[in-house]
Structure 1
Amino acid sequence: MRKLLNTLYVTNPDSYLVKDGDNVVVRVDNTERFRIPVYNLEGIVCFGYMGASPKLMRLCSDNNIALSFLSPQGQFQARVSGRVRGNVLLRRTQYRMADSASDSLEVAKSFIIGKTVNCRTVLGRGIRDHGDTVDNMKVTTADRLLIEHMLKIEDCTTADSLRGIEGNCARFYFSALDELILKQKDDFYLRERNRRPPRDNMNAMLSFLYTLLAHDVESALETVGLDPYVGFFHTDRPGRASLALDMMEELRPFMADRLALNLINLNQVKAKDFLKKENGGVLMTDDGRKEILGAWQKRKQDEVTHPYLGEKISVGLIPYVQAMLMARHLRGDIDGYPPFFMN
């Protein structure tokens, strides 16, 4: 099993990354602030506009290290990709399956079943752990609607009908997720999912966590030799990592939504960690972003038993394992793609 290495998050917007031998060096105003051997890294995420030297980019490419650039507020800007790796036969199979409406639909169903089951698990845990404080009727009603729609997935005959079910399930889930915010209710709430820009603190945090997850999933797909830009559920669009977005669907409730709830309910993030702009958009402060990044890294170190493999793995390796299972399905080693179901 692959070893979980470190992801370097560079939060100072004035940072510039350079190569020194086999080391990644972070400089601010031409002064070295940090260095780390490249062999200890599996990814680098930079929040700022200064960038990195071409030699550093080449070092990351040669060592299969994902290098992404985000704005200081956490909006995705760009990703550096090196030479295409992986088995060309695997990618050709991926492209053929993506071009087949029926084959794509079967894989897409697995993603949405995984997402719906995991959404139900998040809501179920809320009732189990906090049944005396949440609106049980509201949560159980959302859960019932999720079940009803999930039972319709297998009978879907078109991608559009599946997208309709997924959209409805998302609305049911997010309407009930607000009930699981137990603390700081005046500052954190979820009336609806909004983005570009997010218009409340909760949506701003979810968008940030989804961006971090997207980085990890895209990197995992590239590692096993798949093309993250050719998916089965999200339509192809220039610059859109459709397969990464597909695979994120089943992972969001477990890796991002639950973490956001914990950060709020444990008072690890607060209203002071967010700023509202004149246009109504909400941004995170530097301190808030660092708190969330620290919690994200810590969460990735936790261990879970993978439901399909039956082995204990780090949470941070879940995207890699799912990418590996997708590759195995495309090769014909397993009959279908097994989504990740959280415990």
Structure 2
Amino acid sequence: MTLELLNTLYVQTQGTDLRLEEDSVRVRVPDQPGRRTLPLRRLDAIVVYGHVNLSTELITRCAQDARSITWMSRSGRYLGRLDGGVKGNVLLRHSQHQAHDNADTRIAISRNIVAAKIRNSRWVILRAARDAKAAAQESMRTVATQLSDATTEIPDAPDNDTLMGIEGNAARLHFEALRHALRPAEGIPPFERRIRRPPTDPINAALSFTYGLLRGLVHGSTEQIGLDPYVGYLHGIRPAKPALVLDLMEEFRAPLADRLVLTLLNRRQLRPEHFEYLPGGAVHLTDDGRTALIQAWQEWKQRTWQHTLAGRDVPAGLLPTMQARLLARHLRGDLPAYLPWTAS
């Protein structure tokens, strides 16, 4: 089955007004004359950042069409999402819940997720090492070897706590290697370590924002296939957390999110003027910085990647949907295991 890669409308200009106009969304930006209309049939999702107004009629129409609306903070922190009616076969969700309650099935899926995340991390590091200086290359290849060794521990991991320990150590090694690969513009301090809430330097701010974009993409894929985004395997069931979304994000973090940020910083497409320092130490992208990153993300989603199981190249924007479908097939009993995607 061929899937069309539709567009996501990202709106981050504060005070923008979105309204329904027949079968289109009308966009009015403050202090700009005129208005713009976009046909709804070409949009699969709307993502708004901060203070953006949506009319009740537009929200209702999106709910009826199962067109998602996602609300984010200005810094890119996920706030909430509207998807309309629950989609998918209830039997699939029932199978998903049963698999979560089966210890053997749950640990098998979790092991494959962590293995794919570490392999993709290693792939990104080795690719980045090609352009690094000699000393950095040696450090990055050492980390790649350590990550390879970490994958050998996964088959013997008895439970998810052990797996999360392996994953956490691999993530620390990954960001340690990423530090050697980053060559940002003058004025952007060197990357030291991953800091999340809130990010306190430009590189962490760019990473957090991009993870927010990735999370929205993966969440939409789980809903599209009919899975319950809140029942996961590696992340289990966590109040107010879409655990399955966090599970499926793992295999995409390094090749789709980290590598994009690495590219934008090293090419000077993200520069010091794209970041703002807030009282208290937090660092956020400016409006121009968010625009630059979102535009790059939209182009990045069009890039094709080899998908071994599908036997063809697949746009990055459709990879999460492919994987959600493979997970659904496994849960239905059509596949003996969940087969994660690895970059090549």
TM-score (norm: length of structure 1) = 0.95
Rounded Cα–Cα distance in structure 1 between residues aligned with 2:332 and 2:249:
21
Question: Is the CA contact 2:66–2:83 (under 8 Å) kept in the aligned structure 1?
Answer: no
Cα distance in 1, alignment partners of residues 108 and 34 from structure 2: 51
Q: Distance between the aligned counterparts of 1:114 and 1:150, measured in 2?
A: 9
Inter-partner Cα distance in structure 2 for 1:262 and 1:311: 25
The yes-or-no answer on 1:135 pairing with 2:129 is no
| Alignment match, 1:314 | 315
2:166 is paired with a residue of what secondary structure? helix
Which residue identity lines up with residue 181 of structure 1 in the other structure?
L
Post-superposition offset of 1:61:
2.0
Q: Secondary structure at the match of 1:179?
A: helix
Aligned-partner residue type, residue 237 of structure 2: D
Aligned equivalents of 2:276, 2:295: Cα separation in 1: 20
Question: Offset of 1:190 from its aligned partner?
Answer: 2.4
Does the alignment pair 1:59 with 2:53? no
Answer yes or no: is the 8 Å Cα contact 2:132–2:181 preserved in 1.
Answer: no
Q: Could you tell me how far apart the structure 2 residues matched to 1:96 and 1:116 are?
A: 27
Q: C-alpha separation between the residues in 2 aligned to 1:9 and 1:311? A: 29
Query: Percent identity at matched positions?
Result: 37
Per the alignment, residue 291 of structure 1 pairs with 292
Aligned residue among 119, 125, 128 for 1:126: 128
**What displacement does 1:131 show?**
4.5
CA separation in 2, counterparts of 1:237 and 1:2? Answer: 31
For residues 119-154 of structure 1, what are the alpha-carbon distances to aligned partners after superposition, in whole Å with 9 as ceiling and x for unaligned?
Answer: 000111122x22545512321221122112111001
CA distance in structure 2 between the aligned counterparts of 1:39 and 1:99, rounded to whole angstroms: 39
Do 2:16 and 2:53's aligned partners in 1 also have CA atoms closer than 8 Å? Answer: yes
Map of 1:38 onto structure 2:
40
- Contact 1:134–1:179 (Cα < 8 Å) also in 2: no
SS of equivalent residue, structure 1 residue 325: helix
Q: TM-score, normalised by structure 2?
A: 0.95
Q: How does 1:178-327 map to 2 (within 5 A)?
A: 178-184=179-185, 187-327=188-328
| One-letter identity of the residue aligned with 2:84 | G
User: Residue 55 of structure 1: CA displacement?
Assistant: 2.1
CA distance in 2, matches of 1:140, 1:87: 46
Q: Which has the larger displacement, 310-319 or 168-177? A: 310-319
Q: AA paired with 2:61?
A: L
State how far apart, in whole Å, the 2-side matches of 1:193 and 1:199 are: 10
User: How many angstroms apart in 1 are the aligned matches of 2:323 and 2:168?
Assistant: 23
Q: Is the 8 A contact 1:275 1:284 kept in 2?
A: yes
Deviation at 1:2, TM superposition (A): 0.8
Seen in structure 2, the aligned counterparts of structure 1 residues 239 and 54 have a Cα distance that, compared at 3 Å, is farther
| 1:146 matched to 2:174 | no
Find the residue that maps to 1:42 and give its secondary structure. strand
Note the C-alpha offset of 1:248. 0.3
Matched residue count: 342
Structure 1 unmatched runs, 5+: none
The amino acid of 2:250's aligned partner reads: E
1:102-121 correspondence runs (5 A): 102-121=104-123
1:181–1:188 Cα contact (<8 Å) kept? no
Deviations 1:164-220 (A, max 9, x none): 100000001111111111343661532111111001111100000000000010001
SS in 2 for 1:135: helix
Distance 2:175 2:157 in 1: 23
Q: Cα distance, 1:66 vs. partner?
A: 1.7
User: Conserved in 2, the CA contact under 8 Å of 1:51 and 1:69?
Assistant: no
Task: Please say if residues 7 and 41 of structure 1, whose CA atoms lie closer than 8 Å, have aligned partners that are also in contact.
Answer: yes
2:89 aligns with 87
State the alpha-carbon separation in 2 of the partners of residues 287 and 186 from structure 1.
Answer: 17
Are the equivalent residues in 2 in contact too, given 1:73–1:284 (CA < 8 A)? yes
- What is the aligned-residue RMSD (CA, Å)? 1.7
Query: For 1:154, what is the secondary structure of its paired residue?
Result: helix
What secondary structure, in the 3-state scheme, does the structure 1 residue paired with 2:156 have?
A: coil
**Unaligned 5+ runs, structure 2:** none
Q: After alignment, is 231-240 or 22-31 more displaced?
A: 22-31
Q: Distance in 1 between matches of 2:328 and 2:189?
A: 39
Q: Partner letter of residue 95 of structure 1? A: H
1:169 and 1:75 map into 2 onto residues whose CA distance is: 24
Task: Classify the secondary structure of the residue corresponding to 1:322.
Answer: helix
1:276-308 deviations in Å (ceiling 9; x for gaps): 112111011110110000100011111222122
* Equivalent residue letter for 1:69: W
Partner AA of 1:339 in structure 2? P
Q: Tell me if the contact between 1:275 and 1:285 (Cα under 8 Å) persists in the aligned partners.
A: yes
Show the counterpart of 1:74. Answer: 76
Q: Which moved more, 1:238-247 or 1:58-67?
A: 58-67
State whether residues 23 and 39 of structure 2, in contact with CA within 8 Å, keep that contact through their aligned partners in structure 1: yes
Output the CA distance in 1 between the equivalents of 2:98 and 2:60. Answer: 31
